[in-house]
Chain A
Amino acid sequence: MDNEKLLIIRDLHKYYGKHHVLKGVNLEVNEGETLVIIGPSGSGKSTLLRCINLLVKPDKGKIIFDNEEITGKNIDVRKVREKIGFVFQHFNLFLHLTAIENVMLGLVKVKKYPREKARRIAEEALLSVGITEDLWSKYPAQLSGGQQQRVAIARAIAMDPKLLLFDEPTSALDPELIGEVLKVMEKLANEGRTMIVVTHEIGFALKTADRVVFFDDGRVVEEGEPEQVILNPRTERARRFLLSIRELYRLE
């Protein structure tokens, strides 16, 4: 595997008022790697993802993405975001646009592609996530959660990003719809895309991740091979968290 570092995070801090959310995060992601971040709710995982594509401005520390310090001054935030795809927990499709228009918006307005070219790319992206032609002109409210999330993934990958961020992409889905989304993500990982996935799906992590990070209380607590972190965590905190998650899975 190519070992070039696409993303380097150094001592990243974020405060919301007095609340210290990120307390010095250090993290590196190699090109082509799938990194899974697990950890309890409220530990700052979402904030970390939002810092990476600058939806949230970090208070201290450095983020180097694609050989450029994006936390520095005179950074074109939009250029950075264009290169980083974001998939949200609640899909966040544009409610007034059809599936294909959702995918096309960025291509037309950001990449300035002519509509025909944008449409072609959008069709390709939708097909690659299993959204067939009969669904292209449906509005988000007419699609199932799983279909909406796959359209959202298509919207992200159509922009041809260097990095894909997933913020608990299956947490808002009915259980029977989780599989179709995870399958798409697995396919993307196998295609060699660089991905950071925040999820509680430890099955997906074991199968697909190159590396797993256990995140708690605004810090990286543990990181390593999926089997090691998930099945044999070194720290007590990770052990307790993973035990409760595995318990849950067994009960299901």
Chain B
Amino acid sequence: MDFVEEILYLTSNYGTDLLNAMLLTIEITFIGFSIGLLLGLPISLGRVYGPLPLKVILATYIEFIRGTPMIVQLFFIYYALPIMGITLDAFTASIIAIGLNSAAYQAEYFRMAFGAIQREQWEAALSIGLSRSTVLTSVVLPQGMRIAIPALTNEIIYLLKYSSIAYFVTVPELVYVSKIIGARTLLHIQIYTVTAVFYISMSIILTKFAKIIEEKTAIPGLVLKGRT
């Protein structure tokens, strides 16, 4: 059999397994990213505009997450929490670990985006009598979200690849399933080629999709730039 035939052999015999594994990888990526977005946005707002004690707590959280490997965070949630009486299944532990991790990074991306909004926008908004919270929702967020899109695109592509750490807690995502298929068929190069092609294709699709969102939300005539 030549290389192409072997790959076809794999996809026809293990197609369903691979497809399910890919879907699980995509699921972990998107749920993890969504948790990160839902938590990251308020974390960044609290960190930039909140009272001092909150700022300190959130900064500590971010430093803690950024300063420890994601795999350690996952093991903590999966293996250490049960000792404290919180037992989670592998999938839930994975999306929580990835979500909490991504929240810290996304909070930093948003913080940079808010920081890039000119002070003059604040002055103008306050000068017509808007409250600080309305300035946030009506001026800072709409502009900041746009600035943050490229960084968030990076983040979701990272997560797509980092979702493979769920392998270590036996979630049957793509790497896990590939390893089993590889061991069973001994077609290691072939199966990991399929895996690699999937990751690359997905990241290209995500990049294109982000580009479309960026263009759709672009402000006519204006290039909004993050701080470089």
Contacts and interface: CB of A to CB of B under 8 A. Distances in A.
A110 to B, nearest CB: 4
Contact of B129 (A82, A92, A96): A82
Interface stretch (A14-22, A26-34, A137-145, A181-189): A137-145
Interface stretch (B91-99, B107-115, B199-207, B215-223): B215-223
A94 B124 contact: yes
Nearest to A80: B129
A146 B224 CA distance: 22
A74 B77 CA distance: 49
B220 A139 contact: yes
B115 to A, nearest CB: 16
Contact of B126 (A81, A90, A159): A81
Contacts of A48: none
Contact of B222 (A79, A81, A139, A156): A139
B47 interface: no
A78 B220 CA distance: 31
Contacts of A142: 220-221
A79 B129 contact: yes
A110 B121 CA distance: 16
A86 B219 CA distance: 25
Nearest to B139: A94
B127 A55 contact: yes
Interface string B144-170: 001000000000000000000000000
Interface residues of B, number: 23
Contact of B123 (A85, A92, A106): A92
Given A95-B121, A109-B134, A53 B219 contact: no
Interface in B90-142: 118, 120-121, 123-131, 134, 138-139, 142
A195 to B, nearest CB: 15
Main secondary structure of the interface of B (DSSP, over half): helix
Contact of B128 (A79, A82, A140): A82
A105 B131 contact: no
A94 B222 CA distance: 12
Interface string A70-113: 00000000110110111010101111100000000110011000
Given A55-B123, A96-B142, A96-B143, A106 B221 contact: no
A155 interface: yes
A139 B121 CA distance: 15
A105 B128 contact: yes
B127 to A, nearest CB: 4
B119 to A, nearest CB: 9
A85 B121 CA distance: 15
B146 A94 contact: no
Contacts of A110: 128-130
Nearest to B144: A96
Interface string A126-157: 00000000000011111000000000100110
Given A105-B138, A139-B220, A142-B220, A92 B128 contact: no
B162 to A, nearest CB: 32
B131 to A, nearest CB: 6
> Which of A81, A86, A94 has the largest number of chain B CB atoms within 10 A?
A94
A93 B219 contact: no
B129 A141 contact: no
Given A141-B221, A142-B220, A156-B128, 12 more contacts: A53-B127, A55-B126, A79-B129, A90-B120, A94-B139, A95-B222, A105-B128, A106-B128, A109-B138, A140-B221, A141-B220, A142-B221
List 6 tightest A-B contacts by C-beta distance, closest first. A141-B221, A82-B129, A92-B124, A106-B128, A141-B222, A86-B127
Interface of B: 118, 120-121, 123-131, 134, 138-139, 142-143, 146, 219-222, 224
